[in-house]
Amino acid sequence: MFTSNPFAELSASVSPAVMQTYVVLMAVLVVVGTLFDIVHKRSARYFFESWRQSRKKARQPVGGGEMISIVAQTAVVDVMLSGEFCNARRRIAHLLGMYGFITYVVSTAIMVFAYPTPATPTPPALAALWYIGALMVCLGGYWFWFFIRVDVAAEGNSPFRFLRADLFIVTLVLGTTSALIWAWLQTAGKTTWASVFLSLWFIDTTVLFASIPWSKFAHMFFKPAAAFEKRVSEANGTRSNLPAPADAPAKLGSVVKHAHHY
């Protein structure tokens, strides 16, 4: 199972062209949804204005070498290692979900476009990456949802309590879970149940990408810009108006109600 391309098997009943069109449509929804989110929430305007004010009030210049260092720190610490999370469990869960999602999406696109049918054999390692990515999302997502969320772990609320802000993590985890079950059922030859979970995967994935303006999805694009602006503000001597990490020990009590987001 872990070395088979589920999309190549699906090509017996669904045209590869249909699958490829769907992937392209989801990519378009990401772009359109993110742009809509930027315009609606005025995120770009806020960051550009913050950047302009930071440069205007700078107490000391930031040289080219220092700027390169800031870019590198932002990329490595804030983006690749999710340095904004001071809590180790939250950071690990986030990294599992982030890298799992990237692996899952990239391997899906490659298999759908480059190896869409059994006539184009899929490298076993590539197929395995798809399963590993989905499992990483499930591991990080379920761990976060049932054991790490502050409103569950500290406030005693039901783990099944759902808010609009949870839309991203819920659809992401349910989508990858449905995908794994569908792939297993399809390989096992259980066509009826495979069709059921394929439909669930289709619904969850569509909601995941179509709900960007109302979910936390677009934050993955805003967070690097916010982290970069904060580092530059600290380097040039101005005070950034961006908040400290959400779960920094010194301020945990003041933000505990907002720390349940993924």
| Domain-located, residue 1 | no
Three-state SS sequence of the chain: CCCCCHHHHHCCCCCHHHHHHHHHHHHHHHHHHHHHHHHHHCHHHHHHHHHHHHHHCCCCCCCHHHHHHHHHHHHHHHHHCCCCCCCHHHHHHHHHHHHHHHHHHHHHHHHHHHCCCCCCCCCHHHHHHHHHHHHHHHHHHHHHHHHHCHHHHCCCCCCCCCCHHHHHHHHHHHHHHHHHHHHHHHHCCCHHHHHHHHHHHHHHHHHHHHCHHHCCCCHHHHHHHHHHHHHHHHHCCCCCCCCCCCCCHHHHHHHHHHCCCC
49-106 pLDDT, tens digit per residue, is 766 766 667 677 777 888 888 888 888 887 787 777 778 888 899 899 999 999 999 9
Domain that holds residue 76: 6-258
| Domain-located, residue 28 | yes
| Domain-located, residue 229 | yes
**Domain count of the chain?**
1
| Domain-located, residue 164 | yes
Kindly report the average pLDDT of the chain as a whole number. Answer: 82
The model carries a pTM of 0.78
